Every structure is written in C-alpha cells, then in structure tokens.
Chains A and B, each alone.
Chain A
Amino acid sequence: MTKYNSDRWDEWMRAALKGDQNAYHLLLTSLRFWLAAYFAKRVHYNAAEDLVQDTLLTLHAKRQTFDPRYPFGPWMAAVARHRWIDHLRATLKYVETQLEDDFPSQKTGRDACAKHDVKALLKLIPPPQAKVIELAKLREMSIEEVSKQTGHSPSSVKVMIHRGMKKMMAAVEKVQDD
C-alpha cells in the first residue's frame, strides 16, 4: 500500500461514479493529503488549503470527464495542475493591478501568497525585468526608488514591469499547454 493509498484510487473512483459513497469518502480523504503535499511544494502555505478545497470541488463537478479505461492518477494530477495554473494566473493579475506602489495593500495574507508565487515565477523571465519586478512588487519600492536603484528611467521601469508580468503570464500559459 502506498502512502496515500494511490493504488486503490482507480477502484474507488470507478465505484464513486456508480454512486458508492463509502468509496468516494475514502477517495476524497486520501486525495486531501496528496493534494496538500502537491500544493505545499508549489504555492504559499496560506493558499494551499484553499487550493485543496477548490480541487476537490472541481473533481466533484467534473468527475464525468474521468475515463474509466485510463488510470485515475494522471487525471487527478491534470485537474490539480489546472487549479494551480488558474491560481498563478489570478495571482499575476492581482499583482499587476492590486499591489500598487503608492497604495500598499491591507490584505497581508493574500499579498504574502502573491509574493511567494511571483518570486517563484521570476526565474522564468530575463534578469533585468526580474530585478525591477522584485524591487517594485516584492520589496514594494516606488517607481522612482526603483528607477534610482537600477538606473532606468521611471517610464522604462513601468514598461519593464508590464513586459515582465506579460512574460510570466505567457510562461504560465506555456506550462498549461505543455
């Protein structure tokens, strides 16, 4: 028996599709721990529990798309991945629109999650853009301060932030396509 009883997922899911509530309960309980581990590696711990619940809800709503001819594990991983990418996309939009340098956000929990995700995504874009985004969005410096520190003009800093965010969004879309 594996750590999460994953060897029994196929059997439980097939029974759940036929309406077996006991099998479904075993499946969801087992998946809960697997999903918690899956998201703990990828997002800030504050967001992980929400994503676990979102994914369980998605599984419930879209369980008819599971093809019983194929194993359940890859299907579940694809659903979890979809939720994770959705979360990253929402985070990037939030960071671009909400984390304004002049108006520091009061939603510290959400900001901490967003910063955690952005930090991970900065590795996917060119270093100069990553540097500017890190200063403006993660360290919450003003455009003028970033401009002084990096030597770029304020308008250039704004353009670099915008382009960098777009590149990160494209990287997220690429992860989804792959």
Chain B
Amino acid sequence: MTDQLIARLVSDLKPQEPIIDSKLWLHCTVCLLIVASVVIAMMGLRTDFPTALQDGAMLWKPGIFLFAWISSILLILDLSRPIKRVEKRHFVPFFLAGTILLWQLIVQLPFLSTSDAALSLRDPSAIYCLSVIIGGGGIVMVVSWKFWFSRTASPNPTALGALAGFSAGCLAATAYALHCDKDGILYIFIYYGISVVTLSFLGSLLSKKLLKW
C-alpha cells in the first residue's frame, strides 16, 4: 500500500515554489496602498487635514493600526509553517500600538464622560467606519487567504486564522483613519475595535474549516 502511495505521489510531483516571506509583505503592502487609495479617492482625506497634521492626530491614529498590522504580519509569518518560531521581538510593534493607545487614553481621560460615550455610540458616520473596515478588510482577507493562508501548514491554525482577520482589519482601519476625523478614544475603541474584532473572530471561525491540515 505504501509503495503504491509513494509511486502515486512521485508521479503527481510538479515543481512547487515555497512560500516566501517577502511575497507576503509585498502583497500586504500593495493591498494597503490600494485600500488607502480607494478611501482617499472616494471619501477624501479628513476635512481638518492641516490641523490634524499639526496636532499629530493624522499620525497617531493611523499609527496605532499600522503598528498592530506590522506585528500581525510578523506573527503570521511565524505561524505559517509547521515549525513554530514565534519571536518575542515580533510583539514590539504591538507594544508600540498599545503605548499610543494608552497615551491617548491618558490625554483624553479628563474630557471623557458618559455623554461622550453616548454621543460616540450614536454617531451617524460610524456606519461608514464599520462598513469600510469590515467590508474592505473582508475583501483583503479573502484575497490574502487565497494568496497565502490556504498554502500554509500552521501549528496553531486558529491563531493564524484570527491573525488573518486581525491584520486585514488593521490594514483597512489604517486606510480609513486617513479619512476619519473622529479622534475620540471611545469612538476608536468602539467602532474601530468592533470592526477589527469581528474580522478576527471571522478568521478564527474560518480557520477551523479551512486551515486544518
């Protein structure tokens, strides 16, 4: 039986290009540029662009998601092959994203109140935020799944699936943050957070079916 199997596998052999880390980086960077271009072309940069550039909002808000995105790509690369090689330094961008978030939380804390939270929840523009991040991120996730994730053999498929959704969500959030002029930390936590968590959850659910090997 095993002899027959070996003969069948040998006759079925075709040249196969190994998965290469730099190709994933290139793919994701191109996706980020495309999503950012679409957001800017269709919705424009945020209306208070010059002021936001001066007070740093134009940098720190996309920066949170950009750092988280970089970290998620590094971890995806760590988890894509059967041998697990998760390196601690790959969490550094996550730590930077968390630091920016914490810094903003501390800066904005004196101005936070329950009415701000209520206003954040009722903001009409939030639907765009949710649609762009979940919709755009979802498309990126599907494309990346075909390009990379379906070819992996992860020691932890659920974590890899969750990271696929998380990175796609962070990518779309980085692009949308160029347009969005809502800098309230509650708004970011609620709408950006919900979108990214939804995609991560979706990724982990899909992984149970699609990333098992």
Q: Taking the complex as formed, is B42 at the interface, i.e. its CB lies under 8 A from any CB of chain A?
A: no
Hey, which chain B residues are within 8 Å of A62, CB to CB? 82, 153, 213
Contacts of A24 in B (CB 8 A): 9-10, 13
Determine if A64 and B18 form an interchain contact, defined as CB atoms under 8 angstroms apart: yes
Q: Please name all residues of chain B whose beta carbon is closer than 8 Å to the beta carbon of A82 when the two chains form the complex.
A: 82, 153, 155, 213
Query: Is the CB–CB distance between B1 and A53 below 8 Å?
Result: yes
**Taking the complex as formed, is A67 at the interface, i.e. its CB lies under 8 A from any CB of chain B?**
yes
Complex Cα gap A52–B80 (Å): 23
Say yes or no: A79 contacts B1, CB within 8 Å: no
The answer to whether A68 has its CB under 8 Å from any CB of chain B is yes
Give the number of chain B interface residues (Cβ < 8 Å).
Answer: 26
Whole-angstrom distance from the CB of B85 to the nearest CB of chain A?
9
A-contacting residues, B127-158, CB 8 Å? 151-153, 155-156
- Would you list which residues of chain A between 59 and 75 have a CB under 8 Å from chain B? 60-68, 70, 74-75
- Decide: A67 and B9 in contact? CB cutoff 8 A: no
Assess the A57–B9 pair: CB atoms within 8 A. yes
A17 touches B15 (CB 8 A): yes
Q: At the interface, yes or no: B118 with Cβ under 8 Å from chain A?
A: no
Contact residues in A for B156 (Cβ distance below 8 Å)? 176-177
A17-B15, A75-B81, A78-B155 in contact; A53/B10 too (CB < 8 A)? no
- Select which of B6, B19, B80, B213 is within 8 A of A29 by beta carbon: B6
Q: Which A residue sits closest to B80, measured CB to CB?
A: A65
Q: How far is the CA of A17 from the CA of B152 in the complex (A)?
A: 16
Is A32's beta carbon under 8 Å from chain B?
yes
Complexed CA–CA distance, A156 and B213 (Å): 37
A residues near B16, Cβ cutoff 8 Å: 17, 19, 63-64
Scan B12-24; emit 1 where CB is below 8 A from any A CB, else 0: 1111111100000
Residues in A lying within 8 Å of B, measured CB to CB: 16-19, 21, 24-25, 28-29, 32, 49, 52-53, 56-58, 60-68, 70, 74-75, 78-79, 82, 176-177
CA distance A153 to B12 in the complex (A): 58
A64 to chain B: closest CB distance in Å? 5
- The answer to whether A75 touches B82 (Cβ under 8 A) is yes
Q: Given that A75-B81, A75-B82, A176-B155 are contacting pairs, would A60 and B9 also be in contact in the complex, using a CB cutoff of 8 Å?
A: yes
**Quick one: which of B12, B13, B155 has the most chain A CB within 10 A?**
B13
How far apart sit A35 and B14, CA to CA, in the bound complex (Å)?
A: 23
Sampled A-B contacts (7; CB under 8 Å): A32-B6, A65-B153, A66-B81, A67-B18, A78-B83, A79-B82, A82-B82
Known interface pairs A49-B1, A62-B82, A82-B82; A56-B18 also in contact (CB < 8 Å)? no
Q: Which residues of B are found within 8 Å of A79, using beta-carbon distances? A: 82, 153
Once the chains are docked, how many angstroms separate the CA of A68 from the CA of B21? 12
